[in-house]
Structure 1
Amino acid sequence: MAEIINFNKALKRKAREQAQAQAAENRVRFGRTKEQKQLEAAQMDEARRKLDGSRREPGADGAGEDGGGTIDLA
């Protein structure tokens, strides 16, 4: 004779197993260690500081805010 099972419990167990399989796949695909996240944040911060450090201020080269400077030939 067949084993009697509770259909709701069987469905929930199957859904739980599928969720665990999906979670394991996501950990492999998207998971990063804390060290990797910190390294990436430090690299982004360094790149941002380098970019900001090489930024030219408007008006520093004699040009107006629109970027078009005038040359006095007189």
Structure 2
Amino acid sequence: MAEIVNLNKARKARAAARREAEAAANRVKHGRTKAEKLNDARAEARRKALLDGAKKTD
């Protein structure tokens, strides 16, 4: 005889597993260290300073 399955619990468990997998993917995709963020901020500041120095006056 077949095992009785509560479809509501099965649906919720499947949705929770999907959310956890998506969260794990986002942590890998968007997670950066403090050093990486600082390095990007420094590079952006350097880029802006270079562009501002090359501006022509109005």
TM-score over 0.5 (shorter chain): yes
Tell me which stretches of 4 or more aligned residues in structure 1 moved more than 6 Å: none
Percent of aligned pairs with the same amino acid = 43
Gaps (5+ residues) in structure 2?
Answer: none
Match of 2:34? 34
Counterparts of residues 1-74 of structure 1 (less than 5 Å)? 1-58=1-58
Gaps (5+ residues) in structure 1?
Answer: 59-74
The two structures have a TM-score, normalised by structure 2, of: 0.69
Report the 3-state secondary structure (helix = DSSP H, G, I; strand = E; otherwise coil) of the residue aligned with 1:13.
helix
The two structures have a TM-score, normalised by structure 1, of: 0.59
Higher-Rg member (1/2): 1
Q: Structure with the greater relative contact order (CA < 8 A, sep ≥ 6): 1 or 2? A: 1
